[in-house]
Structure 1
Amino acid sequence: MHRHLIAFLLILMTTLQVSASPLLLSDDGNGINLNNSVQYIEDAQHQVSIADIMEGNPQWIENGSKTFNKSYNESSWWLRIEIDNPTEKKQSRLLEISYAVLDYVDVYLVSDGSVFQQYELGDKYPYHKRPFDHRNFIIPMQWEAQQHITVYLRVESSSAVQVPVTLWDQEAFFGFDTTRTILQGIFFGTMIVIAAYNLLIFFVLGERTYLLYVGYVLCMPLFLASLGGYSFRYLWPTFTQWNDQSIIVFLSGVVVFGASFTRSFLNVRDYSRWIDKTLVVFWYGGIALAISAFFVPYHYNITVLILWAAGACVMALASGCVCWYRGQVTAKYYTIAWTAMLSGGIILALNKAGILPTNLFTEYGTHIGSSLEVVLLSFALAERINAERRLRYEAQEQALIATQRANEELEGRVQERTQELESLTQQLRDLSNTDQLTGLHNRRHLDTVMTEEWERGKRYQRPLAIILMDIDHFKSVNDTHGHPVGDDCLQEVANRVKHGVRWPTDFAARYGGEEFCIILPETETEGAITVAERIRLLIEESPVETRNGPLAITISAGVHSVIPNEKSSLENLLERADNALYAAKKEGRNRVCRQQAA
């Protein structure tokens, strides 16, 4: 008995479904929602044609008040909408299917049992083939007086199968669409301005966080533009395959840049290593999904990506909460911003999964959430700049105090070091100007001083004397006793030369080998001979102590003095002193000779 009653009720419901009343046109065309007028059947095998539909008697199912939504599936779906014009005049309307990423939408307009108009729509066809220039699918329709038209839609898509259908008066449609476009323009404009602003900050500061944020801000509107049909209309109207792939790529970019930005902005690694590692996993997954968009069918890819993006949003929110709890200053702004974004993302995911109905709020939930998010994150980045500026000022103030203290300490140290450096400089100068064996000045320093004294004598017309002296038979000392003993002799002779020079201005140097040179400023020939004789006697009067015992040595010296002038030269002075030395050697050595003036 119960079985018969249930069967009767099912037959009755089927009869009611099939005999649903058609929509009646009226003069009010301000966007009539056709959800209640939609009837549908499923074609899982993709074998039903329009002829089969018109000739057969399929069991149509009433859609109800919600938007037709079968989420992600591989079936074809036939929809039927019956519309009557009960008036005595012609009526024109626009039928809008406001879901831009359907792959195939075949439209058949039937009247009096025959198809009088047919359209092939969908984002798998180039944009220019559409009968109406719009990002959504728009079907222009016209009724004669008292005409009944049945609209058949065959829908097949790798994306979510949603068919929000609205019947518009043309004027009302353009008014509503203008408002909708302005709102979208505000959204995209806001995103571009924020991206450009943060890109400029990146160029100024060079901080990687701002560049990651720019990538995130750009990927989000590009994803929504691809999903809403704006990209297909304005950016790539002929690239039908890329139109699907772009949704995957840009949503993956949101995940990749969002994870990177979160890690960099919150310094997640310093607060939770496991969350940081999880974000890295989401980053790699986003890269893999973006690459797979070019190889894996859209249906499978988008299903995984929606779950992956939702997980990344939850993990990003968890990062903000943990960092906020552990004292990260800017994490509170980030957490609030990401909550807005996550809410919009969840609304979109639930809508595409068929859980939430399609309406203005669910369609634009992601736009609203992402707009709030980027604005709040911009505040967070600005707060970060302010915080860094405050820290910089505090650091500068502390550095200034420390610098003042350091300057005070440094002044004392500088004086000490200056004295030490002056002493070291003088020591280095002495070392560079000193003969290492004898301790007298070397030949290089001798040449410099000799030139200076010559110029000074020439300027002031004062006498300048030169003594050249040579150790007698020094070669036989080296040959007989060896060079070490010769070095001992040179060192001792140099010491006695130093003792024989009395005036501070007198300058003694090793001239080369066993020869020595003494410069005597302000000294005439007689004075120079006195100095030379004093040194000769100091060397002759006592033997030189060497490593092989005492050794008696003598020296010969040549003296010449001149008042420098334009006709004489320093070379001439040295030559005459050398000639005098040669004369002393020739006269028997151990003596001092002078060079007579020319």
Structure 2
Amino acid sequence: MNNTSGYDASMTRLSAKASLARWAALLLLASFCWTTLAMAQPLTDPGIQDNNTTLRDITMQGRILLDPTAEQTIEEVVAKGADFEPLTSPRGFQLKGAALWMRFELPELDPAQRWYLMLDGGAFTDRVNFHQGDPAQGWKEQVAGDHVPVAEWSVPDRSPVFAIDTAQLPGPVWLRLTNEPSPLSPRVYLIAEDELQNKRVWTYLMIGGYLGFGLLVMFLGWVHARLYADRSFVAYVIYVACMLGFQVAFTGMGGFFFWPNAAWWNNAAAPIFMLWLTASGIWFVREVCAVSRYHRKVDRAVLAWSAFGFLFPIPYLLLNTPPMFTILNIYGLLSVLLSFSLCIWTWRLGEKYAGWMALGFLPVHLGYPFPALRAAGVLPDSWATQYAVLIGSAIEIPLLLYILHRRAKEYNENRARMRALDSADPLTGLTIAPVLYLRMRDAVRRARRYGHHCGVFLVELSNHGEIVAKEGRETGDRALVVAASRLSRVVREVDTVCRISNTRFAVLVEGPLRQATLKVIAQHIVAKGLEQGPTLPADLPLRFRMVSALLPSEEIPFAEDEDRDERRFLGHLHKELDRLAEDPKKNVLHLPFVPSMPPASMA
């Protein structure tokens, strides 16, 4: 028997692992598909082929000049026109206090539309100055960037946008860009007003829907935290909040909508939320995977790693140097590896939901390299670097909530079963005797108040010894379980069935009740016992012997604060049932009244 149970348990574990592997393969395939689509987005357009085109990438048409002092004026830069070099490929520039100048030769554009120059990736630009010459007024300058409040930008938007004076075209325009400590990798678009408005609408719709969905998930996570009293949901809510904050800051929506006059915070929000997001993610993994259950030192190390992420924004913002930026990137990369490793490690040690957590984090883990490599200067600004993590988190957040819900539900059911053991018979699942005594007292109190009777049966499985002698103890226990089930089906849900001793059951039937009703119930109990079932031998039906009585009786006043009166009452029924066993031809005894007995308080 033990070998069979071990085999079944082993097969169950193998089946769970196979299911997890199948889901991992499907999620990997889906994530690979959308990641491939993100990478397939063209980084540059071949060139301006049609002046009526309303959106075009002109990055590769620009010529660049590096100003190492960052102090040259537009007049000085224009005078060095011969020193400008062509930008042959998308690349990052680690400026380190320098300024990058870009010159674009714009053709004559359709004057029926208003035209703009737009930079993608506003989170990686401290300051941008746009210059366009005007013979009558000199140089026209427009300004944008993280070091300037969005409300003061020439054209407030989520990323730098500059209006072009089409009357001065064809002719060159200049951009001056600065950024520290992350590398600068500009991507410049020439865009018409209708296309710019269309792009705004779709961007706001997409990111707004994402934020609304994230807030709903946060609310559901908090409801689950209150419902299940599980710290994992608290960590999840904090993780989602940091994820939403990071996306708001990284996409530029925060500076445009939430803090348009706070330039310092607009510049600092993205790295701060990135560090808090990573730290809260590690804390979340620690809570769900129960790392402390498997290794105390590893748990302390993980907790310290998470605390480092919450505190590191202080030195990062105070120093704001390339080495600190490198530490930030390394921390993010190692945190991705750490979270995945912790999930797999604890899953292999037997933490069932840790494996599902690894799958839940997978969409963000696959999308994280795009902005990370962009921040390191390896990749230029692109659709993938802007939205890979956003799309991944939109897939991840509901997955993690569902996994947490299943985990909490299973653990809550286990706790409920453990609590039920304190008030239920371990073998049959019936109510235990102390609960029966309380319900008897309440039933008697109600019966006296409304002037009716309730009934009590004491039922014995009379042929239990015969079943054990013929089929063994296991079959005897099964017979008791079947007996409990059949007794429960005879009475109503408001009635109580309790296992009083090894083979005897007490049944409390709520009123109003008459003696004739007790006789009908007794007939049903006897008939239920004689029914054939697949779990017991056909030649051994359940034979019930029972005694019944009506409550309350004026001769038995129940005490208000003790259960000795209920015990004495059931003790009397036990004696009557013992006498009934002496007569093998009789199985049911209905007591017309209860003999007078003094209450426990007077005994």
TM-score (norm 1): 0.60
2 CA distance for matches of 1:171 and 1:252?
Answer: 37
Give the equivalent residue in structure 2 for 1:337.
360
For the pair shown, the structure with the greater C-alpha radius of gyration is 1
2 CA distance for matches of 1:115 and 1:160?
Answer: 32
Give the equivalent residue in structure 1 for 2:197.
174
Give 1:85 shift: 0.7
Give 1:149 shift: 2.2
Is contact 1:330–1:380 with CA below 8 Å preserved after alignment? yes
RMSD: 3.2
Give 1:230 shift: 1.3
2:305 corresponds to which of 274, 282, 302: 282
**Higher RCO (CA < 8 A, seq sep 6+):** 2
1:31-50 equivalences under 5 Å are 31-50=55-74
Give the equivalent residue in structure 2 for 1:506.
none
2:114 corresponds to which of 69, 92, 106: 92
Give the equivalent residue in structure 1 for 2:275.
252
Is contact 1:25–1:85 with CA below 8 Å preserved after alignment? no
**1:420-453 deviation digits (Å, cap 9, x = unpaired):** xxxxxxxxxxxxxxxxxxxxxxxxxxxxxxxxxx
1:387 corresponds to 2:404: no
Over 3 Å counting, the alpha-carbon distance change for 1:42 and 1:93 in structure 2 is same
Q: What percentage of aligned pairs have identical amino acids?
A: 18
**1:151-210 deviation digits (Å, cap 9, x = unpaired):** 111111124413211111111121122112211112211211111111122223332221
Give the equivalent residue in structure 2 for 1:202.
225
Give the equivalent residue in structure 1 for 2:178.
156
- Give aligned pairs, total: 395
Give 1:406 shift: 6.0
Give 1:114 shift: 8.7
1:324 corresponds to which of 344, 347, 355: 347
Paired letter, 1:234:
F
2:209 corresponds to which of 156, 164, 186: 186
2 CA distance for matches of 1:128 and 1:333?
Answer: 44
1:61-76 equivalences under 5 Å are 61-66=85-90, 69-70=92-93, 73-76=96-99
1:59 corresponds to 2:75: no
Paired letter, 1:381:
L
Three-state SS of the structure 1 residue aligned to 2:319 is coil
2 CA distance for matches of 1:358 and 1:249?
Answer: 21
Give the equivalent residue in structure 1 for 2:7.
none
Give the equivalent residue in structure 2 for 1:464.
none
Is contact 1:245–1:293 with CA below 8 Å preserved after alignment? no
2 CA distance for matches of 1:415 and 1:197?
Answer: 49
1:107 corresponds to which of 122, 130, 138: 130
Is contact 1:109–1:151 with CA below 8 Å preserved after alignment? yes
Give the equivalent residue in structure 2 for 1:235.
258
Is contact 2:52–2:109 with CA below 8 Å preserved after alignment? no
Three-state SS of the structure 1 residue aligned to 2:83 is coil
1:260-409 equivalences under 5 Å are 260-297=283-320, 299-392=322-415, 394-395=417-418, 398-399=421-422, 400-402=424-426, 407=433, 408=500
Give 1:133 shift: 2.6
Paired letter, 2:391:
I
Paired letter, 2:105:
E
Over 3 Å counting, the alpha-carbon distance change for 1:27 and 1:78 in structure 2 is closer
Is contact 2:218–2:237 with CA below 8 Å preserved after alignment? yes
Over 3 Å counting, the alpha-carbon distance change for 1:269 and 1:109 in structure 2 is same
Is contact 1:95–1:139 with CA below 8 Å preserved after alignment? yes
1:562-573 equivalences under 5 Å are none
Give the equivalent residue in structure 2 for 1:576.
none
Over 3 Å counting, the alpha-carbon distance change for 1:63 and 1:355 in structure 2 is same
Paired letter, 1:343:
L
Over 3 Å counting, the alpha-carbon distance change for 1:404 and 1:25 in structure 2 is closer
Greater Cα offset, 388-397 or 156-165: 388-397
Paired letter, 1:76:
A
Over 3 Å counting, the alpha-carbon distance change for 1:113 and 1:268 in structure 2 is farther
Give 1:124 shift: 1.3
**1:251-278 deviation digits (Å, cap 9, x = unpaired):** 2221232122111111012234454233
* Structure 2: tracts of 5 or more residues without a match: 1-45, 434-499, 506-562, 569-603
**1:281-306 deviation digits (Å, cap 9, x = unpaired):** 21121132133345222655443222
1 CA distance for matches of 2:130 and 2:219?
Answer: 43
Three-state SS of the structure 2 residue aligned to 1:295 is helix
2 CA distance for matches of 1:111 and 1:364?
Answer: 38
Give 1:142 shift: 2.7
**1:200-236 deviation digits (Å, cap 9, x = unpaired):** 2222333222111111100111112112211112222
Is contact 1:333–1:376 with CA below 8 Å preserved after alignment? no
1:492-507 equivalences under 5 Å are none
2 CA distance for matches of 1:195 and 1:352?
Answer: 28
Paired letter, 1:95:
L
